[in-house]
Homo-oligomer: A and B are copies of this chain.
Amino acid sequence: MALEHAILVSLLEQPGSGYELARRFERSIGRFWTATHQQIYRVLKRMEADGWLVAEEIGQDGRPDKRSFSVAGDGQAALVEWLRAPVQPEAVRHELAVKIRGAAFTDDAGRAALIGEVERYRAEHESLLHTYLNGEKRDFPDLERLDVGERLQHVVLRGGIAYERMLLDWLDDVLDTLRAL
């Protein structure tokens, strides 16, 4: 139940419409908290009803009108309260690990197919790592001059980079292991 809180953080960093939020969830925030636009609109509605957000109607030329959301006092208070609460144990869902252990119960052709999948998966994450590294260069060109929000965004990004590097190393290990079976 933290989609609300991810939205609060994102809107505090920068107010925006449901559509814009959905874009951000595809890019930055979504790297550590995924959500579809349908889910986002539903939660925005509830948050507005609870007085956590206020909406401003913005008429646009050449585009549909939009409703831009900002965080209200109650919303920020809810976020502050949630920040104090213990971090919930995460529900880990690592499909690839299940598949790797499952490889013991298929034939050579099945294993070859899995190796192909792991290679595709590795290429995806290599590209994601480069996206992160480019984003780092673009958004944090001067690491000496960062405000509080940027320093926190940067440490989270460093986590993403460390994760992807670890993952790529492990996937190489996995590929070696699968090929040597």
Partner-B contacts on A (CB < 8 A)? 2, 5-6, 8-9, 12-13, 29-34, 76, 79-80, 82-84, 86-88, 90-107, 110, 113-114, 117, 120-121, 148-149, 151-153, 155-156, 158-159, 162-163, 165-166, 169-170, 173-174, 177, 181
Q: Which chain B positions have C-beta within 8 A of A96?
A: 87
Give, as a whole number of angstroms, the nearest-CB distance from A151 to chain B. Answer: 6
With known contacts A87-B99, A93-B90, A155–B173 Cβ distance under 8 A: yes
Task: Assess whether B166 is in contact with A98, with CB atoms less than 8 Å apart.
Answer: no
Question: How many chain copies does the complex carry?
Answer: 2
With a cutoff of 8 Å between Cβ atoms, the chain B residues found around residue A114 in the complex are 83-84
A-B contact pairs, 5 of them (CB 8 A): A30-B92, A32-B94, A80-B105, A90-B95, A155-B177
Beta-carbon contact of B177 and A101 below 8 Å:
no
Residues of chain B lying within 8 A (CB to CB) of residue A158: 170, 173
Contact B93 A9 (CB under 8 A): no
Chain B residues, Cβ within 8 Å of A82 = 99, 102
The reply to whether A83 and B106 contact each other, CB–CB distance below 8 Å, is: yes
Complex CA gap A174/B159 in Å reads: 9
